[in-house]
Amino acid sequence: MSERIYVFKRFERFWHWSQAGLIIFLMLTGFEIHGIYKVFGFATAVGYHTTAAWTLVGLWVFAIFWHFTTGEWKQYVPTTEKVGAMLKYYAFGIFTDAPHPFRQTTLKKHNPLQRLSYLAILALVMPLVWMTGWLYLFYDQWAAWGLAALQLQWVAVAHTFGAYLMLIFLIAHIYLATTGHTATSHFKAMVTGWEETH
């Protein structure tokens, strides 16, 4: 018998997928600007990258508003409870069909590792990319903002560092999305909102 719970609301799903698309597109254009490969051409890539970045800013304005008005921000409050169990599960249990140590509910939809990693992404990596990205965009204003001592090189390197972290997260995130009840149940949940838990 399958048991289903409604975990991802409509806006949340919209946020997730549009953000995913934008971030992948930002990586595609960003690494091109960095000179790793050529897809769009430098000038076009810079234009797309900037537009996508501002679109993501717009999306985040709504997302932040949504998280605070719905109280969903609590989903990211970190906990160390069951972290060890989670790690043990991914290291061993998952191969022996051991029961998942975390039981998902609407109020607690992320497992402890998810909480930690999403919090790190949302509160550390993304702000790093954002801050450096903004500084990049407003390079000519630094002196006026009293940031004359700042070096473009540091900003550029930090921005690229953030981008690599996002890439690593993306790889792990997509893979871990296959570790649900079935290989596709997490993906389905992010599309329909309904997660199969058994």
Partner 1 sequence: MNVYRVLRAAALMLALAMPSALADAPAVKLTSTADHTKFKELQGPFASGPEVTKACLACHTEAAGQVQRTKHWTWEFLNPDSDQRLGKKNVINNFCISVESNLPYCTSCHVGYGWKDAEFDFAAQDNVDCLSCHDTTGNYKKWPGFAGHPLYKDTELPPGSGKIQRAPDLAKVAQKVGKTSRDTCGACHFYGGGGDGVKHGDMDSSLAAPEAELDVHMDAAGLDFSCGTCHKAAAHDIAGSRYTPVAADKGGAHIRGKAEKSSPATCVACHGNGPHKAEARLNHHAEKIACQTCHIPSFARGGVATKMSWDWSTSGKLSPEGKPLLVKDPKGHVTYDSRKGDFTFGEFVKPTYAWFDGKVTFTLLDDKIDPSGGPVGINRIGGAPNDGKSMIWPMKVFQGKQPYDPENKTLVKPHTAGNDDTAYWTNFGWEKAAATGMASAGRPFSGKVDFVETTMAWPITHMVAPKDKALACTECHVREGGRLDGIEGVYLPGRDRFTLMDIAMGLGALLTLLGVMVHGGLRILTHWRGQD
Contacting positions for partner 1 (CB under 8 A): 33-35, 41-43, 46, 90, 94-97, 139-140, 151-153, 156-157, 160-161, 164-165, 167-168, 171-172, 175-176, 178-179
- Read off φ and ψ for residue 196, nearest 5 degrees: -85, 125
Min. distance of Cβ 9 from partner 1 in angstroms? 28
Min. distance of Cβ 99 from partner 1 in angstroms? 14
Q: What is the rounded CA–CA span in Å between residue 124 and residue 21?
A: 20
Rounded to whole angstroms, what are the CA distances from 7 to 30, 82, 84, 105, 109?
Answer: 33, 20, 24, 7, 6
- The residue assigned the tokens 């473009």 is 152
Q: What is the rounded CA–CA span in Å between residue 64 and residue 73?
A: 9
In the bound state with partner 1, the residue whose beta carbon lies nearer, of 93 and 193, is: 93
In the bound state with partner 1, the residue whose beta carbon lies nearer, of 14 and 169, is: 169
Q: What is the rounded CA–CA span in Å between residue 110 and residue 89?
A: 15
Min. distance of Cβ 63 from partner 1 in angstroms? 26
In the bound state with partner 1, the residue whose beta carbon lies nearer, of 27 and 190, is: 27
In the bound state with partner 1, the residue whose beta carbon lies nearer, of 39 and 152, is: 152
Min. distance of Cβ 14 from partner 1 in angstroms? 27
What is the DSSP secondary structure assignment for residue 65, as one 8-state letter? H
